[in-house]
Amino acid sequence: MFLTIKNNIQNKIEAVYGIETTVEASKYAGSDLAMPLFNLAKKTSKPIMELASEIKLLLKEEPFIKETFFERGFLNIVLDRKTFALQVLDEIESTKDSYGSLPSNGKTVVIDYSSPNIAKSFSVGHLRSTVIGASLYKIYEKMGYKAIGVNHLGDWGTQFGKMIVAYDKWGNEEGLLERPIDYLQSLYVKFHEASKEDPTLEDKAREVFKQLEDGDQRVTKMWEKFREQSLTEFKLMYELLGVSFDNYQGEAFYNDKMDRIVMILEDKKLLEEDDGAMIIRLDNFDMPPALIKRTDGATLYMTRDLAALLYRHENYHFDKMLYVVGNEQKLHFRQLKTVSDLMGYNFDITHVNFGLVLMDGKKMTTRGGKVVRLYDVIETAVELAQEAIEQKNPNLKNKQEVAKAVGVGAVIFNDLKNDRNLDIDFDLENMVSFEGFTGPYLQYSSVRIYSLLKGSQKGTKKNLDVYEDDLAFKLVVILSQFSQTLDKALTENGPQHISRYLLSLAQTFNQFYGAHRIIVEDAKTLSANIHLIGAVRTVLNEGMRLLGMQVLNEM
């Protein structure tokens, strides 16, 4: 609503004078908004005081404006804080968790996120795609879309030839059953170490993968076992993170759907042979060729992703397709969009790219064994949360459940507060820190409000003077900007905008709490305070839900 007021004023000025102007938050203590007039006076060739008088008359009937005055080149605007606050707070109270939601727009968005490789541990490196995608799923749903979450598992490729060769050479059933994923990953690392001394292992791996592609019964059963055990472990991690998907259609699902893509490309005369391989030239788009078939006839990632794209469009009828995949795949998705356009589809495709999680400034790699398991990180975060609870609130009920919610929330928020485009240097201590602006800080702010609301009665009459206070009104303004924040998060596919908004909201609430007594004897003042902080908790909780964090009443 605060943004609406600014826009209304700007539109009214532009309609009268035909000149764009800006309205900004005022730096002057006695006003809420300010409009610079020097540029407008210059362009209209009017004396600045005459212009100020004209605009004052123009804004006289504008809702929520109490008065205007000219000061140091600015037209300062004082809002009717009481009326504005009541409208915002009443709307939040009546809509509750639906505050900021948009009605269904009849559109469908498919979001491809997480997508780990099977037979490998779920590492910290997988966290970004998982939590960014899961948050976007919730954001799109809140903004009126039907969302479909796809986990495009990495369950195909030559790495499975390597895995099977390693298992045949060094593995045993006992080790596999005890800790399947850790065991398989250790074999994968061992394979790459051994292949440095014996390059024939790589040839053997390619042979075994060819057997898998040809449907060899023994090899296929091993692959199915690796996939099933991986998915079981992944689902435990997803349950811990509170993340879900509508399907787990991985790369193997599209094995029988790629010949059709090749036929379409041939019909469109897009394919060209190059040293035995089949490619699509993209020179006109300043990109290298898109590889469709290798010299041995095997299809590649591009063929598979085109098959997946068509399948999803034909089965889910999406209006928008999001790929939550790292920065290093930018070229691939530019090529995917260009090739699908050349095929005549013109799909709305967005690559929601994100930076790497680095360790000591270097990328983590499975084959080098340099991986930090996400489960270990979360386990450490939960342990730290338990220690804090024992120190500060040893009599808390359900301590383990609360510690789990706080630890997981800390890890999720640490990721989502960062600009997704940038790399993050992995630092366990910072990730699980409970000091400063963190996930636990948001959860504790909500718990603090709950303790104030518990047992307090909001009356029908309120002391509206409460909302004249600068901090109280700042809270109201921030609350009014929730819809604007949601829109920005949707437009930019950036959950970080919600994270930073929540930090601002929580910080301002805690400032208000530190400066004012909330629970007072005067019934009207108490009622106004309860109305305000109740709205803060509603928005704070809904924002945390959109990020994938658990809301608590005690901690």
Residues 6+ apart with CB under 8 A from 227: 118, 119, 153, 155, 250, 252
Task: Decide which of 337, 363, 389 is a domain's last residue.
Answer: 363
Domain range for 511: 433-547
**Where residue 6 sits, what CATH number does that domain have?**
3.30.1360.70
Residues 57 and 144 in one domain: no
Q: Is residue 554 part of a domain?
A: no
Q: Are 353 and 327 in contact (CB under 8 A)?
A: yes
Residues 258 and 125 in one domain: yes
Counted domains in the chain: 3
Please give the Cα distance from 222 to 225 (Å, whole number).
5
Q: Is residue 422 part of a domain?
A: no
Q: Is residue 15 part of a domain?
A: yes
Q: Are 137 and 147 in contact (CB under 8 A)?
A: yes
The torsion defined by the Cα of 516, 522, 527 and 529, in degrees rounded to 10, comes to 0
Task: Decide which of 57, 79, 101 is a domain's last residue.
Answer: 79
Q: Is residue 296 part of a domain?
A: yes
Residues 124 and 75 in one domain: no
Residues 6+ apart with CB under 8 A from 129: 113, 114, 115, 324, 325, 326, 354
Please give the Cα distance from 554 to 340 (Å, whole number).
51
Residues 210 and 260 in one domain: yes
Q: Is residue 160 part of a domain?
A: yes
Q: Are 271 and 261 in contact (CB under 8 A)?
A: no
Buried b / exposed e over 356-371, threshold 16 CB at 10 Å, is bbbbeeeebebbeeeb
Please give the Cα distance from 187 to 167 (Å, whole number).
7
**pLDDT, block means (10 residues), the chain with 555 residues:** 85 91 86 92 93 93 91 92 96 97 98 92 88 98 98 92 94 84 89 93 92 92 91 92 96 94 96 93 96 80 96 98 96 98 97 86 58 84 91 92 95 93 77 78 96 88 96 96 97 98 97 96 96 98 98 95
Element (DSSP H or E) covering residue 315: helix 301-316
Rounded to whole angstroms, the maximal C-alpha distance in the chain is 89
Give the orientation angle of helix 470-480 with respect to helix 496-515, to 10 degrees: 160
Q: CA gyration radius for the chain?
A: 29
Q: What is the pLDDT of residue 432?
A: 65
Q: Are 537 and 456 in contact (CB under 8 A)?
A: no
Q: What is the pLDDT of residue 121?
A: 82
Q: Is residue 94 part of a domain?
A: no
Please provide the size of the chain in residues: 555
Tokens matching residue 375: 């489960």
Q: Are 191 and 290 in contact (CB under 8 A)?
A: no
Tokens matching residue 259: 């010949």
